[in-house]
Structure 1
Amino acid sequence: YRAPVNTLAAQLFSEPPMNLIRGRVTDTEVTFDEYSHHALTQELSQLSPGDYWFGIRPSHIGLVPTGEDDLEMAMEVELSDISGSETFMHVRNSHFEMVLQLMGVHQYHTGAPIKIYLPINRLFVFDQQEQLVHTPSQVTGGSL
């Protein structure tokens, strides 16, 4: 769970499954599917330039930023499913589909625009052979 050896293990040991996004690292930025460009942070600066898979657990994506390095993405609500005290929200845009696991009841209509925030310090990184090359800094302690 804390250091899945590959993308398959990452998805199997996360419920709902870990979200995976194609991305590219350069000397100065990280780009997700040529859609979302972000300055390279200290957290990811040790990665060699190249193509990667970035993984984030649904429970780590939020509707408000939690830090200055959070990645903001404009999405559209595809489905909002309330289950007890949690909401499972399926969102998409023309580049990505993701699932969020939110604490509390969040009611959004299908098709509603929404911004989501991915904390850089919660990203897992896998190489093009889908093998783990980087674990998040917050993987040691606290809730994952």
Structure 2
Amino acid sequence: MLLELAGIDKQVGADTWLYPLNLTLQESAVTILLGATRAGKTSLMRIMAGLDTPTTGRVLVDGQDVTGVPVRRRNIAMVYQQFINYPSMTVADNIASPLRLSGQRDVLPRVREIARTLHIEEFLDRLPAELSGGQQQRVALARALAKDAPLMLLDEPLVNLDYKLREDLREELGDMFSQGRSTVVYATTEPAEALLLGGYTAVLDRGELLQYGPTIDVFQRPNSMRVARAFSDPPMNFIEARADGAALHCQGMGPVPLSGSNLPSGAVTLGLRAADLSLQHQGGDCLISGQVQLAEISGSATYVHAQTPVGNLIAQVPGVSHHQLGDAITLHFSSRQAYVFGPDESLLRAPQMEARHGSY
């Protein structure tokens, strides 16, 4: 299915939920809607589904205007954060319901295949009320996958699951989506989820569409500081600087040489991802001295918050790293990893880097 949004916006009373935007989704591919809560992701998906209509603009499916066509007359599947299942049906019957509605008879093999993928095969004979919230969410997701609709809309479908299961399902869903049987729209607040699912990403912020393109391209070349903030977790570090030819000068640290660059002289902003700041000397790199404010251990990484002469910075350090409040540290980074943004916050320079799934 080719889905196009042409000049749509959404006004609710005096509030603007979506600013005018144009978006053509890649056919038979996954598009990630990435943004914080209240960025406009759900509002956009409701318009795509036909649950809501834009204030102005058109929704086109395969070139046909379907703006006023209700959801019941569209062949779509949708999963919300708040799962919806048929309470009187078993898990197996919930998953099988769209298959039977389409006239299929021997549906059990397909039901078992999807249930196995989502780790709910052992619950097929139970009613939804007998399951945990995360298990019920997987049933709703399984029913949507079983429908095999040409357009599938998934609004943060893994948000209610535990960390390990989320990690496993992200990879399995990515494999399923890569088969290209449906045009998939997947909303998330997590940059890691966008990187793992791949495909294309549309970055939203406070109702505005900021950038759309292949996920890894948007990650590596955010066109503005707003996109860089949205596509970084923890947030990208920003440092005030002045450009002078092929170098940046920041008060409180040495110059940052940018070989091959010829930036216009004047005020700019240096951007550094937390994963590109190290506590180890790397040779030929740039240094920032500081003091530890906080060290957060999270999974396989430690987030070190440091007070420095150039502002408060966050470093994402692999493994478990123990620090005391007030410890003196030195942050290292390579100038090759530096982003530079202009006075209008637009991107002037991006590092040349390999795709690094799991690093933000």
Q: What is the deviation of 1:118?
A: 1.7
- Aligned identity (percent) is 26
Rg (Cα) greater in structure = 2
The one-letter amino acid paired with 1:111 is G
The one-letter amino acid paired with 2:253 is S
Correspondence 1:91 to 2:91: no
Q: Is the 8 A contact 1:29 1:37 kept in 2?
A: no
Q: What is the deviation of 1:27?
A: 3.9
Q: What is the 5 A alignment of 1:1-144?
A: 1-27=219-245, 29-32=247-250, 34-38=251-255, 40-43=257-260, 45-68=261-284, 70-138=285-353, 141-143=354-356
Query: Matched residue of 1:8: which SS?
Result: helix
Distance 1:55 1:4 in 2: 11
The one-letter amino acid paired with 2:306 is V
The one-letter amino acid paired with 1:131 is S
Aligned length: 139
Q: What is the deviation of 1:142?
A: 4.2
Query: Matched residue of 2:238: which SS?
Result: strand
Distance 1:95 1:39 in 2: 13
Q: Which residue of 1 aligns with 2:116?
A: none
The one-letter amino acid paired with 1:115 is T
The one-letter amino acid paired with 1:7 is M
Distance 2:248 2:222 in 1: 22
Q: What is the deviation of 1:31?
A: 1.2
Distance 1:120 1:105 in 2: 26
**Structure 2 spans left out of the alignment, 5+ residues:** 1-218
Structure with bigger helix share is: 2
Root-mean-square deviation (CA, aligned residues, Å) is: 1.7
Structure with bigger strand share is: 1
Q: What is the deviation of 1:39?
A: 5.7
Distance 1:87 1:28 in 2: 33
Relative contact order (alpha carbons < 8 A, sep ≥ 6): 1 or 2 greater? 1
Distance 2:332 2:300 in 1: 21
Q: 1:16 to 1:128 in 2, by over 3 A?
A: same
Q: 1:39 to 1:88 in 2, by over 3 A?
A: closer
**Structure 1 spans left out of the alignment, 5+ residues:** none
Q: What is the deviation of 1:50?
A: 1.4
- Structure 1's consecutive aligned runs of 4 or more residues displaced over 4 angstroms after TM superposition are none
Query: Matched residue of 1:36: which SS?
Result: coil
How big is each residue's C-alpha offset from its partner over 1:7-51, in whole Å with a ceiling of 9 and x where there is no partner?
01101001111111110122474211x2213263415x3212211
Query: Matched residue of 1:37: which SS?
Result: coil
Q: Which moved more, 1:53-62 or 1:90-99?
A: 90-99
